[in-house]
């Protein structure tokens, strides 16, 4: 388990500049973005390494070393609404696992999913989302979502979501997470989609989160 003074949260989904700018104005949230000189796993791993060295209540990282794994897992289920071959997923999974075993990155304390990444593909059909599906099934307390809204309102919802983060067991080894993804059926996301539909951004105020430090913190 990673030990540092900050609660490190990976932000996944399409984040407009207005949203990032609004969140970055919070006095107790530091926003970390990947370096332009790197891409893929190395870019996200570098951002997480920088986040681990920051002394701030919250560090929001706009990158994830599992992003390509997530994209290929989603692609397996999206083409013609039929499962496709898993070769690309297995390739990305092997790359991520090798980087993790080489200690190039460790998973963040939490994942925060923007609602654009969780919209159903069609009415009545669950969207195959890696984060709200297999990843959240592994550690429900470590993955949460923020409903779609105008950037200022979504920023308030994001800061409010930081305040709702709860203690929970640390991540299992990455190979176990990937094995869950291999066996996870997207139809299990229906309940997650229903829960998200009923969640709306709230006005940010006092924010207390469990993670690096685990103390109540004001944003």
Residue 102 confidence (pLDDT): 97
Q: What is the dihedral of CA 140, 102, 99, 63, to 10 degrees?
A: 60
- Determine, yes or no, domain membership for 2: no
Question: Domain count of the chain?
Answer: 1
Output 24 or 161, whichever has higher pLDDT: 161
pLDDT digit string, tens, across residues 69-119: 999 999 888 765 555 668 999 999 999 999 999 999 999 999 999 975 444
Report whether 89 contacts 72 (CB < 8 A): yes
Report whether 157 contacts 186 (CB < 8 A): no
| Stated length of the chain | 219
pLDDT over 60 at 210, yes or no? no
- Determine, yes or no, domain membership for 155: yes
Residue 84 confidence (pLDDT): 62
- Determine, yes or no, domain membership for 1: no
- Determine, yes or no, domain membership for 103: yes
Counting beta carbons within 10 angstroms of the beta carbon of residue 92, is it exposed (0 to 12), middle (13 to 18) or buried (19 or more)? buried
Residue 184 confidence (pLDDT): 92
The predicted model scores a pTM of 0.81
Average pLDDT in the 54-65 region? 92
Q: Is 60 left (phi over 0), alpha (psi -120 to 50) or beta?
A: beta
Helix (H) or strand (E) holding 112: strand 110-114
Output 155 or 204, whichever has higher pLDDT: 155
The domain containing residue 205 runs over which residues?
7-218
Residue 25 confidence (pLDDT): 84
Q: Which of 212, 46, 44 is nearest to 142 (CA)?
A: 212
Instruction: Looking at mean pLDDT, say which of 11-15, 22-26, 69-73, 126-130 comes out highest.
Output: 69-73
Output 25 or 5, whichever has higher pLDDT: 25
Report whether 146 contacts 113 (CB < 8 A): yes
Average pLDDT, the chain: 80
pLDDT over 60 at 129, yes or no? yes
Average pLDDT in the 57-70 region? 94
How far is residue 143's CA from residue 117's CA, in Å, rounded to a whole number?
Answer: 13
How far is residue 158's CA from residue 203's CA, in Å, rounded to a whole number?
Answer: 9
Q: Tokens 């570098």 — which residue?
A: 46
- Determine, yes or no, domain membership for 55: yes
């Amino acid at each position: 388990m990673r030990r540092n003074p900050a609660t490190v949260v990976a932000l996944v989904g399409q984040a407009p500049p207005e949203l990032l700018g609004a969140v970055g104005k919070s006095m107790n949230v530091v926003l970390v973005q990947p370096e332009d000189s790197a891409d893929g796993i190395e870019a996200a791993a570098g951002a997480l390494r920088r986040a681990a060295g920051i002394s701030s209540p919250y560090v929001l990282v706009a990158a994830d070393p599992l992003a390509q794994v997530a994209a290929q897992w989603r692609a397996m289920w999206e083409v013609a609404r039929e499962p496709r071959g898993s070769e690309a997923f297995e390739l990305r999974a092997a790359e991520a696992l090798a980087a993790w075993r080489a200690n190039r990155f460790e998973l963040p304390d939490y994942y925060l999913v923007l609602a654009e990444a969780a919209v159903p593909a069609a009415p009545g059909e669950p969207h195959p989302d890696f984060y709200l599906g297999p990843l959240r099934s592994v550690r429900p307390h470590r993955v949460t979502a923020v409903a779609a809204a105008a950037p200022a309102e979504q920023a308030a919802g994001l800061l409010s979501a930081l305040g709702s983060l709860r203690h929970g067991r640390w991540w299992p080894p990455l190979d176990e997470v990937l094995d869950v993804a291999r066996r996870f059926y997207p139809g299990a996301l229906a309940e997650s989609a229903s829960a998200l539909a009923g969640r709306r951004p709230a006005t940010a105020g006092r924010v207390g989160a469990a993670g690096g430090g685990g103390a109540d913190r004001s944003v």
